[in-house]
Amino acid sequence: MAPWQRLFCEAHKLDAQYVQLLGPVSKWLAEQIRQGSPLCLGISGSQGSGKSTLAGYLKAALVQQGLRVDCVSLDDFYLSQAERAKRADDIHPLFQTRGVPGTHDTVLAAEVLARFRAQQPLTLPRFDKSMDEPFSSAHWHHCDSLDVLIFEGWCLGIKEQPEQSLTCPINQLEQEQDPDGRYRHSVNHFLKADYQPLFSQLDKLLFLNAGDFSHVARWRLEQEQKLRLSGSQSRRMSKHEITHFVQFFQRLTQWGIKTLPGQCDVELSLSAQRDILTMTGLH
C-alpha cells in the first residue's frame, strides 16, 4: 500500500483488502477520465452502504494522479426545515422529514452541475444533519474548476416507478400515514420531473448494491453508533427512530435494487457485512 492508502485505511478503520478490491475500480475510473473530462461520477447506494467512504477513496486516488477532484452528496442539497414545512403544508405532512425526492433543492444542484460542466469555480453546499438545517453559506466549500466531480446519493440514477407500483403500501409508515397514496405519488412525480434531468448530468454511475433492504436499518444503526463514538452529532436517533426513519427510503431503495443493475455502468454487490462480493461493468 502507498502511504496515502495506509493513512486512508487508518482514518476510516478499513483493512488492506479494501484497497486491493478497489484497484480495478480506480483503474476503470482513470480510463474514463482519459477518454474525456470534466467527468461527473455518480455513486448510488442505500443508506449505510459506504458511498461517502468510496467517494473519499476515489477522490484521494485521483488527487494522487494530479487531478482536480471534489465530492458532494445529494444530502448536502436538502431543503431547510422551513422549506420542507411549506411542502408539508402544500402537498403532504410527510414531506417535513428529509430524505425522499421532493426534499432537496434540485435547482441549486442543477446550478452546481452546470458550473462544473462550464469549468467554472464551484461552491458546494453542506448540510448539518445534527441541526437538520443547511450550514450557513459561509461554511460551504469553495473550489476552482474541477476535472472530476464525485456526486453520491442514496437514490441517484433511480427512475420513477410505474403508477401501478404505487397502489399498495409497502410498510407501516405508508399504511398508517399515506393510506390514499398521495405522498408516494407526489414523491414519484418529483423523482420524474425534477430529479431525472439532474441524473442525466452524470457521465458514469456506480451502484453499491445492498442486495436486500433488510440490511439497511442495521447499517444505518452502525452509522449512528459511529457518530455517537466520534461525538460529531449532537442529536442521535434511537434504534426505534432509525427503524421508522428508513421506512421513508424503503420503496425507492427496493426499486433501485431491482432496476439499477440494468442501468448503471459499474455494480458492486455487497454482502450483509458490506464486503464487496462481485464487480460488474469494469471493462
How many alpha carbons fall within 13 Å on the CB side of residue 228? Answer: 10
**Grid coordinates representing 214?**
433488510
Tens of pLDDT along 51-76? 999 999 999 999 999 999 999 999 99
Domains and CATH numbers, the chain: 17-275 (3.40.50.300)
Backbone angles phi, psi at 122, to 5 degrees: -120, 150
Tens of pLDDT along 200-233? 999 999 999 999 998 888 887 787 776 655 555 5
Q: pLDDT 10s digit of each residue in the chain, 283 long?
A: 899 999 999 999 898 899 999 999 999 999 999 888 899 999 999 988 999 999 999 999 999 999 999 999 999 999 999 999 999 999 999 999 999 999 999 999 999 999 999 999 999 999 998 899 999 999 999 999 999 999 999 999 999 999 999 999 999 999 999 999 999 999 999 999 999 999 999 999 999 999 999 888 888 778 777 665 555 555 567 888 888 899 999 999 999 999 999 999 999 999 998 889 999 998 7
Q: Are 223 and 72 in contact (CB under 8 A)?
A: no
Omega before 38 within 30 of 0, i.e. cis: yes
Q: How remote is the C-alpha of 138 from its chain's centroid?
A: 23
Residue 260 CB neighbour total at 10 angstroms = 21
Task: Give the model's pLDDT for residue 256.
Answer: 97
Backbone angles phi, psi at 150, to 5 degrees: -100, 120
Residue 180 CB neighbour total at 10 angstroms = 9
**Grid coordinates representing 165?**
407500483
**Grid coordinates representing 219?**
447499517
Distance separating alpha carbons of residues 206 and 22, to the nearest angstrom: 12
